[in-house]
Chain A
Amino acid sequence: EAGVVQSPRYKIIEKKQPVAFWCNPISGHNTLYWYLQNLGQGPELLIRYENEEAVDDSQLPKDRFSAERLKGVDSTLKIQPAELGDSAVYLCASSSRDRDNEQFFGPGTRLTVL
């Protein structure tokens, strides 16, 4: 079984530039999560999808962050414009009710904003 795939693994951008992250969940997993992980901290949920519907985006800073999960499979997370404080690791995870909702994490995208 292939794991959660994320790209790119690393991204360095200037502040005020846009950036996008891509996630391919484990096949058959209907739930997809985007987390933010600051250095030395635990992951914090940004948004949770059930199939193509965003069921919890209360922690997503909607003035600059957006996400989509077209067709209920792959997902993209976008930041526009990026700020210095957005430097962090962005993790994607997926889960399935058939697997007791265990969340499987991808390797993350490390974003550095200069």
Chain B
Amino acid sequence: GENVEQHPSTLSVQEGDSAVIKCTYSDSASNYFPWYKQELGKGPQLIIDIRSNVGEKKDQRIAVTLNKTAKHFSLHITETQPEDSAVYFCAASMTQGGSEKLVFGKGTKLTVNP
């Protein structure tokens, strides 16, 4: 089955700096790669996703890149703000029976220091 590795497990940056989180996956059949943000006491919330037919996607300060050959994808957050502090999860999946079966990484705790 699919296996997703995520690094680093913790990341501390100064406000205004960039943050990069990297993930690798094992199943070449995976075709959907979402990123979730989870704040304390809340469920994960989708912040950006990418499908295997594109290499990069951007949404304001957040971008995701995908390298299907190397089987890795990354989350980039620019101009970080204290409210970006949270745990971020990457996931990989393939569409099965009309829905996505997600396999998550172990998460990265991001701390943005004011």
Contacts and interface: CB of A to CB of B under 8 A. Distances in A.
Interface of A: 4, 31, 40-45, 48, 50, 55-56, 91, 93, 95, 97, 101-108
A92 to B, nearest CB: 8
16 contacts: A40-B106, A42-B4, A42-B104, A43-B104, A45-B102, A48-B101, A50-B98, A50-B99, A56-B96, A93-B43, A95-B100, A97-B99, A101-B98, A102-B49, A107-B41, A108-B42
Contacts of B4: 42
Chain B contact residues, majority secondary structure: strand
Interface of B: 4, 6, 32, 34, 36, 41-46, 49, 89, 91, 95-107
Contacts of A45: 101-103
Nearest to A32: B99
B101 A56 contact: yes
Contacts of B95: 101
A42 B106 contact: yes
Contacts of B100: 95, 101, 103
Q: Which of B43, B91, B95 has the most CB of A within 10 A?
A: B43
Nearest to B44: A105
B44 A43 contact: yes
Contacts of B6: 42
